[in-house]
Structure 1
Amino acid sequence: MSETEDRVAIADLIAAWIHRDNHDSDKLAATFHDDATISVSWFTGTVNDFLSANPLGTANSMLGKHFVGYPYMTVGKDRALAETNVMIPCDGVQVGFGCTVHARFFDRISRRDGLWRIEQRNAIYDVADITFPDGPVEIDRDALAHYPREYAAFAYFMDKLGVTFTEILPTRGSEKEAAIKESGQQWLNGN
């Protein structure tokens, strides 16, 4: 493959997150290596466990969609790093409000047996806000202040739907973000 073909293949893997919104686990699974790991707001573990997990119990608890930007990538021979902006508007039908989350996927992507697949995905959170599609509702500001500002609205929203974030997530400029990127660069360099 040429570098251009590699870049197109990698961008297609990242764009395939649409299969998450379409509830097509088989197509989404095909974008990851079998031993891949993922760390997003409510989940850290293997991709196989992620694909079978449903934190909200039913698809009707939350309406949401992922808008995935074009990735910035560094491509080596059989390894690549990609960082991609993601926006997730959510509507919590049962709680009467929603939120919009702006985050980034930081992916380690490797070519095995000639195929590029995601090996590790980490989400890094930049900013979130609460939305009121049905008009204003009362927000518990003390509960909102329990989380880092970069994703407080999202964590509060998910908590109201019954999903509690149990660890501090990586945020823009945080030590966790720096560690993820440093580790990724070392992996890209073969260390």
Structure 2
Amino acid sequence: MTQNQADNTQQLTELIQNWALWRDAGRWERFRTVWHNDGRMMATWFQGTADEFIEANKEGWSKGVVILHFLGGSTIDLAGDRAVAQTKMTISQRGLVDGVLCDVVCTGRFYDFFERRSGRWGFVLRQPIYEKDRMDPVDPGTPLHLDQDLLMSFPEGYRYLAYLQTRVGYDVKKSMPGLKGAEVEELYRRGDKWLSQADFDLWSVSWV
């Protein structure tokens, strides 16, 4: 790895880390700096621009929504002024499920599209990949009875996360990429195009 590649990798790693730390801490002004102006966020409960995502998070905070992130290792592919990164992560959310306080933990990856503009790297798109999840009552002795028809209507990789988010009032997208399947394969193809085709426009294809 050249010094230039190492420097770029370090900058991108810091962006990935800052995204999680500043979002989870509610440092919204600092959080905004990791995005480019046209940056977009895709998640189970939200799909839209970075600015809309920040406002949605602020609203959730005011209502007591608790969603936290923990990061693992990253791999970063560089191609000139573009990059794609994958980072192991967990998403944890606490909320009431039919009157029972529960924690959901979802394991997956952040799949990120970056671009360097005027010398500054920033997020263009963050698309999580949801691999597996589980739900537990905060009080382990509390019985929990889930609506099986609703539960099984969601993809396997984020089934319990989607159930909780639906119960607390969110409209959950049911076609997010998982560990396997057409959705994640299409995401990989778009990542390859982002790196190899300088004129590839991420927004020429539907993400919602």
Taking structure 2 as the reference length, the TM-score comes to 0.85
Amino acid of the residue matched to residue 182 of structure 1?
R
Asked whether the equivalents of residues 104 and 135 of structure 2 are also in contact (C-alpha less than 8 Å), the reply is yes
> Which structure 2 residue ranges, 5 or more long, are not aligned?
201-208
How far apart, CA to CA, are the structure 2 residues paired with 1:139 and 1:131? 12
How far apart, CA to CA, are the structure 1 residues paired with 2:50 and 2:135? 29
Amino acid of the residue matched to residue 185 of structure 1?
D
Alpha-carbon distance change, 129 to 56 in structure 1, aligned in 2, over 3 angstroms: farther
Give 1:181's match in structure 2, choosing from 188, 191, 203: 188
Asked whether the equivalents of residues 83 and 105 of structure 1 are also in contact (C-alpha less than 8 Å), the reply is yes
Q: Which structure shows the bigger proportion of residues in helix conformation?
A: 2
Match of 1:81 in 2: 84
Displacement, 1:166? 3.8
How far apart, CA to CA, are the structure 2 residues paired with 1:180 and 1:155? 21
> Which structure 1 residue ranges, 5 or more long, are not aligned?
none
Taking structure 1 as the reference length, the TM-score comes to 0.92
How far apart, CA to CA, are the structure 2 residues paired with 1:61 and 1:42? 16
The structure 1 segments of at least 4 consecutive aligned residues displaced by more than 6 Å after TM superposition are none
Displacement, 1:147? 0.7
Structural mapping, 1:121-140, within 5 Å: 121-135=126-140, 136=142, 137-140=144-147
| Cα deviation 1:109-136 (Å, max 9, x = unaligned) | 1111111111111111100100121133
Amino acid of the residue matched to residue 132 of structure 1?
P
| Cα deviation 1:74-129 (Å, max 9, x = unaligned) | 11221111011110222215641121011211111111111111111111110010
Match of 2:5 in 1: 3
Match of 1:46 in 2: 49
| Cα deviation 1:123-163 (Å, max 9, x = unaligned) | 11100100121133222222211111111100001111111
Match of 1:22 in 2: 25
Give 2:112's match in structure 1, choosing from 91, 94, 107: 107
Asked whether the equivalents of residues 56 and 161 of structure 1 are also in contact (C-alpha less than 8 Å), the reply is no
Alpha-carbon distance change, 13 to 26 in structure 1, aligned in 2, over 3 angstroms: same
How far apart, CA to CA, are the structure 2 residues paired with 1:117 and 1:109? 6
